[in-house]
Every structure is written in structure tokens, then in C-alpha cells.
Amino acid sequence: MALIEELNQQGNFLFRWRTYIPGLVLAFSLAYLPYVPFFGGIYKLNLYWLAFAFFVSLLGLGVRCFTIGYTPARTSGRNTKQQVADMVNQTGIYSLVRHPLYVGNFLLYLGPVLILRDVAFTLVFIMFFYLYYERIIFAEEYFLRGKFGADYLSWADKTPAFIPQVRGYVKPSLSFSFKNILKREYPSLFGIIVVFTFFDLIQVYYQEPYLHIQNFSGIWKPFHSLFFGFGAFFYVTVRLIVKTTKLLDVEGR
């Protein structure tokens, strides 16, 4: 098999599992977390650092939401079995970067990695992310080039793959759809809340050993209850709406 076909085959395989494999990053981060002391040795300062890391993940989610809010159906989708595209998105955020959803994913996963405050681990994460998504991007662009030809190449020649350019924004023809964002991204927001809640709980468990005398609930603070409770309420409410009604359905999205 020629290398170009082999890379395409690898990319399509990783594309089908792209939702799950990055979870390995979270698993390794969680295993390392017990050895990470509080920032400055103080829990309150650690919360500030946690908030910064949470903001990074929210920024990634924001990139995803901005992308999805303007894109039509059968593009930028959650399809996993095969590549699907009825058109080449060239407006909105796609006029600045070719793969904005992966930019969002990078920031989303970078947040928990930053909690560890380990330069080496962060560099390993960046390398893993690059090698992993490089194959997926190759497979996607291989598909798009074969389907759309010169139209795709013209857009790709002037639009960077991953690091957004600061000029050349083209206003999208579609209106912004907040409903489409709620329908597609509510699990992502809840996932971020779950990860940060339990990362903080694990860190408290290992950094405040006197609390071990109590049961695990002894380290569950009001902050965790409010934070996690909001996320759970939001997730359950939106999921019920999505599964039992058509309130969030948008024609053509």
C-alpha cells in the first residue's frame, strides 16, 4: 500500500474513534494528579489556577460553538462512520482556519492538562494531539480534495489548517443558531464541568490528608455542589428537550 493511502486509512480509522481516544489524555492526567500539590500550597490559590484552566477549556468550547452556530447540516458534523460533506465551508470561522473544531478540541483538552502545571506533560500532550489529529486532518482533506477538487484547493491555499489567520474574515450567509449549539454541544459543557469537579476533588483528597478521617463526602465542598449541580441540571434539562421534543430542531442544520 502506498504511503498516501496508508495515511488516509489510518486517518479514517482515527476519525471514527476521535470522540474517545483523546480521553486517554484525561486518564493519564488523572493518574498524575495525586502527585500535584496545590498551587502555592494553598487551596484558594489553587482554585484561581483551576479557574484559569477552566477558562481555557471554555474558550475551546466557545470556538466549537461559534463554528457550529453558523454551519449547515452535513458539514462539521458528528458523523463517525465515514466522511460527509455536501459543500466546503469557506465563510465565518472557516475563512480564518480550515479545522476550527479541532482548534476548539485542542483548547478544551488543554485545560485539564494545565491543572498539572507540568511543562513536560504539556509538551507530550501537544505532540500527541498533533500526531493524532494530523492523520485525521489528512483523511478529511484527502476526501474533500477528491470530492470538490479545485474549489477546495483554492480555499485551502489561502486558509491555514490549524493556526487561525487574523485577517480575511468572510461573513457567513446563514444566521447564527443558538438552538443548534444547545442541541449539539450540551454534552461538551457538562463533560467539562464533570472533569474539573472531579479533578479538584481528587486533588483535595490527596493534598488534605486529614480529611481522610471522614468519608469521601467530607471533601465535597459547597463549591462542588453548586458547580456540578448546575452542570447536571443543565445536561438533564437539555437532553430531555432534545430527546422528547423538536424545540431545538433547526431546518437545514
Using N-to-C axis directions, what is the helix angle for 178-207 and 222-244, rounded to 10°?
150
Instruction: Give the pLDDT confidence of 107-116 residue by residue, as tens digits.
Output: 999 999 999 9
* DSSP state for residue 92 in the 8-state scheme: B
- Residue 226: burial class (beta carbons within 10 Å; 0-12, 13-18, 19+): exposed
Phi-psi region for residue 86, left (φ > 0), alpha (ψ -120 to 50) or beta?
alpha
- Helix/strand number for the chain, H first, E second: 8, 0
Q: What is the pLDDT of residues 162-185, one digit of tens each?
A: 999 989 999 998 899 999 999 999
Which residue, 74, 91, 92, is CA-closest to 83?
74
- The pLDDT tens digits for 214-240 are 555 556 677 788 899 999 999 999 999
Rounded CA separation 193/224 (Å): 10
- For residues 232 and 226, give the distance between their C-alpha atoms in angstroms, rounded to a whole number: 10
pLDDT digits (tens, 9 = 90+) for 33-76: 999 999 888 888 998 999 999 999 999 999 999 999 998 877 75
Q: What is the pTM of this model?
A: 0.88
pLDDT recorded at residue 88: 83
Q: What 8-state DSSP symbol labels residue 1? A: -
